[in-house]
Amino acid sequence: LEEPKKRLPRIGYRTIYEDLREAICSGIYAKHDAIPSSRGLAEELGVSRSTVNRAYEQLVAEGYIVVGPGTRPRVAADIHADRTVHQSEPVEVRSADAELSAFGRRLIDSHQRQRSRAPSLRIDFRYGSIAGEDFPLANWHRSVNAVLRRREKVLSYQDPCGSPALRQALQNYLWRARLIKCSCEQIIIVNGSQQALDLLARILLDPGDPFVIENPSYAMARNSFEAEGAKALPIEVDEHGMMTEQLGGQRARLAYVTPSHQYPLGGVMSIERRMQLLSWAKRCGAWIVEDDYDHEFRYDEKPVAPLFSFSADARVIYIGTVSKSLSPGMRIGYAVLPHALTGVFALAKQLADRHNSVLEQDALADFIQSGLYERHVRRQRRKCNLRRETLIRALKDTFGDRVEIQGTQTGLHVVIWFRDIPITQEAELIERAHTMGVGLYSIRPLCNPPLPGERNKQIGLVMGYASISLTWIVEGVALLQKVIGDLRL
């Protein structure tokens, strides 16, 4: 028997009129926005064009939209509904949700420890952002166009390890920039270093496994490992990086380190400690994850060779990113893996998202191979060096010995400690600065457990400067001085 044909309800002009009016009043379409053409909407809804036209005439008559010859109808200029906020709000998390997996529950726990999203600020010292005007738009355009011109005969899924052109370009680049000798097969392209951390956590850690991490450390790395249920073994750091002598007889499955530029305090791991870390890893069969996130921004001397190059028994996984040099929004990073891990890492990558966007990978390959990337990095380094010097000078001139500035030789941020303001004033200082339009961020969420000694009693701020102009850097420090002047000390 044939199934009786289900009839779709007929859409009349009134429904179209009411739905569009609602969309305009709630800000889904804001003033001047184009709304669908009557032909397009009629086709979409399966109604006659005259039905749509009737709805549009009603909206014109009531002043919601305007129509002109040869253009799409637009929302009228005097409609003032607020545009619907499309940016994601801070995730609202419900705790104690029995329907979640253990992984889901661990995510909620770590979320509760994180700081909330800041409102938009005039001068934002948030670490991680870079200035929009620094992006090499014209040259990037050129590389994207070069890729688009090479039209593929068939569009299909690609190798999860990444585009061959980009892996080749990175193999050459890593040798030039970091003296890393590896084969293309060892390089796997990921969606930012964050994805490498996530995939490594999945393939190397089981719930309950101990992992070593610097304290203070990069919270996103720690969160990835803890979300797998692994247990952190925090190790203190000083100006020579992780104090590997504290590793002693500790056993762990993995150690996460930032040896070229300890995040966030800025130490560079000494050769002795590098050797100590490698022999500890060998002794207990641990993997080392080396996060080389900002090596392009070393201002004083040549960067120290990465741990990866020292590891004779291939226990080091090296990860890098273009988030500092090009844009954090690009989401391109790379992992250089020991041969033993490439296969399983590629499987995890394929399961996560098949592979990165081919267009962007190939554009980056072109950008690197044509020499434009390194030219851009040199320019960026000069610009960020100026920002860095301006910030340090402004802080010294304004606060003199009251502040200690740490981690000044590399990267896109510094850490400052106020010697004479009690920690109890930190929240108020940050809050007041925010109300004046200045974004400041405490180092506290990165310290777990709290740092020993005096540090735990001092106000410590992580100040990123890569997105701020020189004038605003100076202005930001002046406002900080004003905020401090207003505190009841």
Residues lying near ligand PLP in the complex (CB under 6 A) = 128, 192-194, 218, 258, 263, 291, 293, 321, 323, 328, 333
Q: What is the DSSP string of 456-489?
A: GGEEEEEEE-TTS-HHHHHHHHHHHHHHHHHS--
Minimum distance between the CB of residue 291 and ligand PLP, rounded to whole angstroms? 5
| Local structure of 131: helix, strand or coil | coil
∠ CA 166-170-171, rounded to 5°: 115
Nearest residue (CB) to ligand PLP, 291 versus 366: 291
Nearest in space to 430 (alpha carbons), one of 382, 462, 384, 404: 462
Question: Is residue 41 within 8 Å of residue 52, measured between CB atoms?
Answer: yes
Nearest residue (CB) to ligand PLP, 58 versus 406: 406
Minimum distance between the CB of residue 418 and ligand PLP, rounded to whole angstroms? 23
Minimum distance between the CB of residue 123 and ligand PLP, rounded to whole angstroms? 19
Nearest in space to 241 (alpha carbons), one of 392, 405, 407, 404: 407
Which pairing describes strands 403-406 and 316-321: parallel, antiparallel, or unpaired? unpaired
Question: Is residue 308 within 8 Å of residue 272, measured between CB atoms?
Answer: no
Residue indicated by tokens 């000694």? 453
Nearest residue (CB) to ligand PLP, 278 versus 412: 412
Minimum distance between the CB of residue 162 and ligand PLP, rounded to whole angstroms? 15
Minimum distance between the CB of residue 192 and ligand PLP, rounded to whole angstroms? 3
Q: Can you read off the two tokens belonging to residue 8? A: 């779709």
Q: What is the CA radius of gyration of the chain?
A: 27
Nearest residue (CB) to ligand PLP, 236 versus 486: 236
Minimum distance between the CB of residue 45 and ligand PLP, rounded to whole angstroms? 42
Q: Can you read off the two tokens belonging to residue 444? A: 């506290």
Nearest residue (CB) to ligand PLP, 218 versus 441: 218
Environment class of 446 (CB within 10 Å of its CB; exposed 0-12, middle 13-18, buried 19+): buried
> What is the separation, in whole angstroms, between the first and last Cα of the chain?
86
Nearest residue (CB) to ligand PLP, 13 versus 263: 263
Neighbours of 201 (CB within 10 A): 24
Minimum distance between the CB of residue 126 and ligand PLP, rounded to whole angstroms? 10
Nearest residue (CB) to ligand PLP, 29 versus 211: 211
Show Cβ contacts of residue 384 under 8 Å, excluding neighbours closer than 6 positions: 297, 412, 465, 466
Nearest residue (CB) to ligand PLP, 194 versus 244: 194
Distance CA 165, CA 285 (A): 34
Minimum distance between the CB of residue 223 and ligand PLP, rounded to whole angstroms? 12
Environment class of 461 (CB within 10 Å of its CB; exposed 0-12, middle 13-18, buried 19+): buried
Omega prior to 449 cis, within 30 of 0: yes
Neighbours of 164 (CB within 10 A): 14
Minimum distance between the CB of residue 410 and ligand PLP, rounded to whole angstroms? 12
Which pairing describes strands 413-422 and 458-464: parallel, antiparallel, or unpaired? antiparallel
Minimum distance between the CB of residue 445 and ligand PLP, rounded to whole angstroms? 13
* SS3 per residue for 238-294: ECCEECHHHHCCCCCCEEEECCCCCCCCCCCCCHHHHHHHHHHHHHHCCEEEEECCC
Minimum distance between the CB of residue 189 and ligand PLP, rounded to whole angstroms? 12
Nearest residue (CB) to ligand PLP, 258 versus 356: 258
Strand partners, 463: 414
Nearest residue (CB) to ligand PLP, 64 versus 334: 334
Q: Can you read off the two tokens belonging to residue 63? A: 């002043």
Nearest residue (CB) to ligand PLP, 262 versus 390: 262
Distance CA 360, CA 324 (A): 16
Minimum distance between the CB of residue 88 and ligand PLP, rounded to whole angstroms? 17
Determine if residue 312 is left, alpha or beta; phi over 0 gives left, psi from -120 to 50 gives alpha, anything else beta.
alpha
Nearest residue (CB) to ligand PLP, 58 versus 294: 294
Backbone angles phi, psi at 28, to 5 degrees: -65, -45
